[in-house]
């Protein structure tokens, strides 16, 4: 009897904390879900209908769990619908309108929105670093960086949703959720990493980590822009047969929650090591900085080999900017260390990011095995992508085991998380570059 009474009380307490804006948001999401189901259910199979139905309470819970998401989701939905309306204006409904309608050409077509996202993430990174070195607390510059990051996430989501619609304008058989190639998943990686960081920024009431986390987001944007110009990757392509599955809608986003949070944890680990060695003057003790320099400067050399003349120049500029970033961090490491939160906060953010990423990466791996069984007739084939996914999983499983069972903390924990980014990057990108297999959908 007491247990039942306690359960009822807890449930009532949860709902009693909802204000009228929470309930209005829930109503809007429910109405939107019902409208989508009524209008598009004829084009869905039973699995896609299940995903749509399950998405409604999930979105409501997310908006209640972290209230800033309510504004983000409503703004994104409104502007994405506006873009769709501009495409449908006068009954035209063709992709060519993206070049003739002002609102689409400069703001709301998928490519325009993603270019805005790219510029805004660069600006956000710059403002976070200006805030890091500003006199006083630097809160104003960092706050601007944070606000710009929110807008960049919104533009990324708008671009993704509009791109989804644009794929159907090309043809019903071409239309698909935009998570099928490197271009599309890099966009997803950027906004997911930034969104998770913004959550931790609010929870821990510190913006200083934005300077580090936005570095990896900006690096991803740099690759995305090169990939767009040199490979024309922004062009929407039909899916290969193996990708024409509802599993893709679940497996790929879950995977990239893992990739994004692992990258976030690595940059927090980098900040941790900088704070530890802020007063160090011996060059060989500044290993984290030299490691960052090698990684940042190695990337242009790798991509330059396969680049056109214009692409080669692009990567040389990237090389120069990377060298300047490393030099600036080396020069200002004491100032940076003063602005960073305590070691306890850094360690906690690192742990929670890896824990969340590991959970979703595990789910993605299981979903991938089920998808493989449907597409290729077997759950596991030791394909290079699968093998490296297992290596990533084992790496972070070991990290979590050592932390929870052996109390792993400090420099070893941070170094492990930072090296984990190298392993994850190879699984994410290196496999596509250097290896071939069943997962070679996003070759360079």
DSSP string over 238-272 = PPPGGG-STTHHHHHHHHHHHHHHHHHHHHHHHHH
pLDDT digit string, tens, across residues 286-331: 666 666 655 555 555 555 555 554 556 666 777 777 777 877 887 8
Alpha-carbon radius of gyration of the chain: 23
251 vs 243: CA distance, rounded Å? 11
171 phi, psi to nearest 5 deg: 175, 145
What average pLDDT does range 2-11 have in this prediction? 46
Q: Are 158 and 80 spatial neighbours (Cβ–Cβ below 8 Å)?
A: yes
pLDDT > 50? residue 6: no
Angle subtended by helix axes 139-170 and 210-231, to nearest 10? 30
Using 50, 70 and 90 to split pLDDT, how confident is the model at 196? very high
Q: Using a CB cutoff of 8 Å and minimum separation of 24, what contacts does 19-23 make?
A: 21/70, 22/63, 22/64, 22/67, 22/70
Q: State whether residue 289 is helix, strand or coil.
A: helix
pLDDT > 80? residue 62: yes
Reading the block at residue 175, the tokens are 């239309």
pLDDT-wise least confident of 53-62, 243-252, 351-360 = 243-252
From the CB of residue 186, how many other CB atoms can be counted at a distance below 10 Å?
A: 22
Q: In this predicted structure, what is the pLDDT of residue 5?
A: 47
Question: What dihedral angle (degrees, nearest 10) is formed by the CA atoms of 77, 82, 87, 88?
Answer: 100
The beta-strand segments (E) located in 191-335 are none
Q: In this predicted structure, what is the pLDDT of residue 136?
A: 63
Burial label for 344, CB within 10 Å (0-12, 13-18, 19+), is exposed
pLDDT-wise least confident of 52-56, 401-405, 406-410, 428-432 = 428-432
Give the closest residue to 206 by CA, choosing from 343, 107, 301: 343
338 vs 62: CA distance, rounded Å? 34
Rounded to whole angstroms, what are the CA distances from 431 to 28, 165, 277, 434? 42, 30, 34, 5
pLDDT-wise least confident of 257-266, 338-347, 417-426 = 417-426
What average pLDDT does range 24-51 have in this prediction? 88
Give the closest residue to 428 by CA, choosing from 267, 260, 307: 260
Q: In this predicted structure, what is the pLDDT of residue 297?
A: 54
pLDDT > 80? residue 261: yes
Q: Where in the chain are the domains?
A: 1-65, 176-186+222-444
140 phi, psi to nearest 5 deg: -65, -50
158 vs 424: CA distance, rounded Å? 27
Burial label for 133, CB within 10 Å (0-12, 13-18, 19+), is middle
Mean pLDDT over all residues of the chain?
A: 85
What average pLDDT does range 375-393 have in this prediction? 86
Rounded to whole angstroms, what are the CA distances from 120 to 107, 130, 194? 13, 15, 12
Q: State whether residue 93 is helix, strand or coil.
A: coil
Q: In this predicted structure, what is the pLDDT of residue 9?
A: 45
């Amino acid at each position: 009897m007491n247990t039942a009474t306690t359960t009822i009380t807890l449930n009532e307490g949860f709902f009693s904390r909802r204000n009228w804006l929470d309930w209005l948001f829930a109503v809007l999401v429910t109405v939107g879900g019902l409208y989508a189901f009524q209008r598009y259910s004829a084009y869905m199979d039973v699995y896609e209908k299940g995903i749509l139905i399950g998405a409604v309470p999930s979105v409501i819970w997310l908006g209640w769990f972290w209230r800033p998401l309510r504004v983000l989701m409503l703004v994104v939905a409104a502007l994405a619908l506006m873009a769709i309306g501009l495409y449908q204006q006068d009954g035209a409904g063709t992709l060519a309108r993206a070049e003739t309608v002002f609102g689409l050409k400069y703001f709301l077509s998928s490519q325009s929105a993603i270019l805005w996202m790219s510029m805004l993430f660069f600006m956000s990174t710059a403002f976070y670093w200006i805030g890091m070195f500003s006199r006083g607390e630097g809160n104003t510059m960092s706050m601007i960086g944070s606000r710009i990051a929110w807008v960049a996430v919104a533009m990324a989501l708008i671009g993704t949703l509009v791109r989804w619609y644009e794929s159907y304008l090309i043809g019903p058989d071409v239309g698909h959720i935009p998570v099928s190639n490197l271009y599309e998943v890099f966009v997803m990686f950027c906004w997911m990493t930034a969104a998770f960081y913004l959550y931790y920024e609010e929870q821990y009431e510190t913006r200083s980590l934005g300077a580090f986390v936005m570095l990896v987001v900006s690096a991803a944007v740099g690759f995305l822009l090169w990939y767009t110009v040199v490979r024309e990757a922004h062009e929407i392509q039909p899916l290969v047969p193996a990708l024409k599955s509802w599993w893709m809608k679940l497996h790929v986003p879950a995977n990239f929650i893992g990739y994004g949070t692992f990258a976030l944890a690595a940059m927090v680990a980098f900040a941790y090591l900088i704070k530890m060695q802020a007063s160090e003057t011996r060059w060989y003790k500044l290993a984290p900085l030299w490691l960052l320099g090698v990684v940042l400067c190695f990337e242009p050399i790798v991509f330059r080999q396969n680049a056109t003349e214009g692409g080669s120049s692009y990567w040389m500029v990237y090389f120069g900017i990377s060298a300047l970033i490393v030099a600036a961090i080396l020069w200002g490491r004491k100032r940076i260390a003063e602005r960073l939160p305590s070691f306890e906060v850094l360690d906690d953010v690192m742990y929670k990011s890896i824990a969340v990423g590991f959970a979703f990466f595990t789910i993605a791996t299981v979903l991938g095995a089920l998808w493989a069984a449907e597409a290729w007739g077997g759950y596991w084939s030791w394909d290079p992508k699968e093998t490296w996914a297992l290596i990533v999983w084992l790496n972070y499983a070991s990290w979590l085991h050592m932390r929870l069972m052996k109390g792993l903390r400090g420099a070893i924990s941070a170094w492990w998380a930072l090296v984990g980014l190298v392993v994850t990057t190879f699984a994410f990108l290196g496999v596509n570059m250097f290896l071939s297999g069943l997962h070679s959908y996003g070759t360079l």
